[in-house]
Structure 1
Amino acid sequence: MEIPPWSAKQLRKLGESIRDGVTAKPGLPSYDEVMLYYNDVAAEAQEMIAALDWTPLLDRRPFEVTSRPKTIDTLRQKLIRDRSTPLSNVQDIAGVRFEAEMSLDEQDAVANAIAGLFDHSPGSCTHDLRTQPHSGYRGVHLWLRVPARIEVQIRTHMQSSWANMYESAADVLGRDIRYGAFPAEPSLRKFVTDLQNMSVEGIRQLESARNGLLPLESSLMTARGELARHDPGTPDYDFYAQRAAKQTRQLDELRAIVLESENSIRAQMDSLKATFDTIREKGR
């Protein structure tokens, strides 16, 4: 990837102009030039990520890789919120998103693979927002420098569905709900609180339960394989038969928990969508 054709100082001064809503001084790159560069950077990173062979990690499950640059309005809001941050230090001017149906462990593995693709150590560039969500948002972010800064968001389908709904709510109720603020009206405050709780409690618990399915399934396959290698009536056969029976019960119990949790989340999601549709109609 090409090195940016401007200095950090030039980018900082452009950022100050964007933040303050004034015309940039002569000699500085334009916003359009900067966005075109970052758009190209994000598009190249998107292509590299999409070209990886994801079969060993995700089997044949489909995945989606998209990219987008920040709009000038969201960029200005970010610069206003933190006036000390220069434009060159804004991590997500160029953003790439990876989404797939995957367990939490698989999400970690995807993050590690993408970090390695860009010669980054996962420990130095990974920001895990699952255990400590931000205003309810959960996902895994990679902060890369290639050499420009890129943020890669890695989400499960459920994390992404929630984030999209929350973004829509922020467009109606105010962008500040993304940064810890709540609407003053009690009914709207309750809606935002319920939406956040669905993520940090319901979805988190569901994904944790799902994460336990794969190792149990793998262990059960191993036990059944060992069972097939021994003759009935032998001590080894009885051992693996008991292990397989125990793991089958555990797996059935966990699958029942996951199914119940999935149904509960779907019901909550439908209810909150209906509430949001009512809120949006009243606002028109």
Structure 2
Amino acid sequence: MKKWVMPEHSNKAVQRASRTIGKGTGTPEEIQAARDVLSNYRLAHAFPLNAVTVTVRQRALDINPNAVVAERRKRLPTILDKLKRHPTMSVTTMQDLGGCRVVLDNVSEVEHLVTILRESPRAKNRVKRVYNYLREDPGPRDSGYRGVHLVYEYGASKPEYQGLRIELQVRTRLQHAWATAVETMDLFSGSELKYGKGDPAVLRFFVLVSSLMAYEEGTAPVPDADGSPAELTSELRQLEAEIGVLDRLRGYASIVGEHAKTDRRNTLTLELRRSEGHLTVTVHETLADAETRLTELEALDDDDLDAVLINIARISQLRDAYPNYFADTGRFTDFVASRTGSH
């Protein structure tokens, strides 16, 4: 029987802890106490995340038996960094402390799943908002990110979790390949392309690729990259010759280590040593064991270490769900190479 973490603090206490971290003006003891409050609040999303994932997984597999479905908790360092960048923000307003990801084959499957989830009449966990980054609602982000996000609010049987929010990302394999390549660049190089920061040429490279993928899938191109496919390809070919993004991605892929080989439903921690490019995947018998391990790793405050806790139905799908941790950008590099001749 899983032992779920319960929220131990009021929303006001969580908001105070958020401000303490955001302003960074407390004593070391106050900052540690605030981290502990935020860590509990994040881990308390595990139960509502599981509840949403169970429903989503069944609906996704009904559409495509090979759908990849995985869940993860937002990393504590990511939360703390966001609060420091936005000192007036509270984690109680973050919608993605618990996240579920579904990867499907094509846009029609993505839209079919989204329609079913939105229109489910008996769902106790309600879809509060939908962000469609494929169509005009609001359309692709300026960065080139595409996909559909649904924000759930827990409203089922356990009152202690009422109101906690879970974010579901639904992507095609091509959209997932693009997002993976961006995350891999950020993970290994320390850039922040995901947030629109970094080398302008690299940022433009990913925008061009995203628009070409959008044309391929019949969805809206990225703003400022809505020229014809031939024009976009010509610009992309020139950029790749100048900055060599594909060579960098292939280089990352050559340095990553071994991972777990068993194939049953598991709770895992992934530990990536960036400088060595070494990945350790640990299989845990219980969620509590995994959460303890993650807390230990995050307490190290090691900038070279990227640690994350993941639940997934089959470990064989781990590389499909979180390929950035394996520097697995093959689908992305194949797509770009086929357009630019950069083999």
* TM-score, structure 1 normalization: 0.64
Q: CA deviation at 1:68?
A: 0.7
**Alpha carbons of structure 1 residues 182 and 53: separation in structure 2 relative to 1, 3 Å:** closer
Residues in 1 aligned to 2:169 and 2:142: alpha-carbon distance in whole angstroms: 14
Q: How many Å apart are 1:85 and its aligned residue?
A: 2.0
Contact 2:143 2:196 in 1 (8 A): yes
2: CA distance, partners of 1:81 / 1:134 = 20
Looking at structure 1, the residues matched to 197 and 33 of structure 2 have their Cα atoms a distance apart, in angstroms, of: 38
How far is the alpha carbon of 1:133 from its aligned partner?
2.1
- Check whether the contact 2:22–2:85 (CA below 8 A) recurs between aligned residues: no
1:48 matched to 2:61? The reply is no
Larger Rg: 1
- Which of 127, 135, 153 is 2:131 aligned to? 127
Give the equivalent residue in structure 2 for 1:237: none
Aligned to 1:181: 197
- Letter of the 1:205 partner, please give it: Y
Q: Which residue of 2 aligns with 1:115?
A: 118
What corresponds to 1:15 in structure 2? 18
**1:221 maps to which residue?**
none
Residue 90 of structure 1, aligned match among 90, 94, 104:
94
The answer on 1:100 being equivalent to 2:107 is no
Q: 1:96, CA displacement in angstroms? A: 0.8
Where 1:206 maps in the other structure, the secondary structure is: helix
State the Cα deviation string for residues 68-100 of structure 1 (Å, max 9, x = none): 111111111222232222110011111111111
1:1-284 pair list within 5 angstroms: 4-20=7-23, 22=28, 23-24=30-31, 30-52=37-59, 54-55=61-62, 58=63, 60-103=64-107, 105-117=108-120, 118=123, 125-130=129-134, 131-146=139-154, 147-183=163-199, 189-199=200-210, 201-208=211-218, 272-277=245-250
Structure with the greater relative contact order (CA < 8 A, sep ≥ 6): 1 or 2? 2
Residues paired across the two proteins, number: 216
More strand as a share of residues:
2
1:49/1:182 CA distance change after superposition, 3 Å? same
Amino acid at match of 2:217: E
Distance 1:19 1:207, change over 3 A: same
**RMSD between superposed Cα atoms in Å:** 3.6
Give the C-alpha shift of residue 134 in structure 1: 4.5
Between the aligned partners of 2:34 and 2:74, the Cα distance in structure 1 is 23
Structure 1 residue 25: Cα displacement: 8.0
Question: Any conservation in 1 of the 2:5–2:43 contact (CA below 8 Å)?
Answer: no
Q: Deviation digits for residues 212-265 of structure 1, max 9, x if unmatched?
A: xxxxxxxxxxxxxxxxxxxxxxxxxxxxxxxxxxxxxxxxxxxxx9xxx9xx9x
| Structure 1 residues 28 and 165: alpha-carbon distance in aligned structure 2, compared to 1, 3 A threshold | closer
Deviations 1:139-181 (A, max 9, x none): 1001121120111100111111111110011124444322222
Q: 1:4: how far off?
A: 4.4
Residue 95 of structure 1 aligns to a residue whose secondary structure is strand
Identify unmatched segments of 5+ residues in structure 1: 184-188, 210-256
User: What letter is aligned with 1:11?
Assistant: V
Instruction: Report the TM-score, using the length of structure 2 for normalisation.
Output: 0.54
Check conservation: 1:98, 1:155, Cα contact below 8 A: yes
Contact 1:11–1:29, Cα closer than 8 Å, also in 2:
no
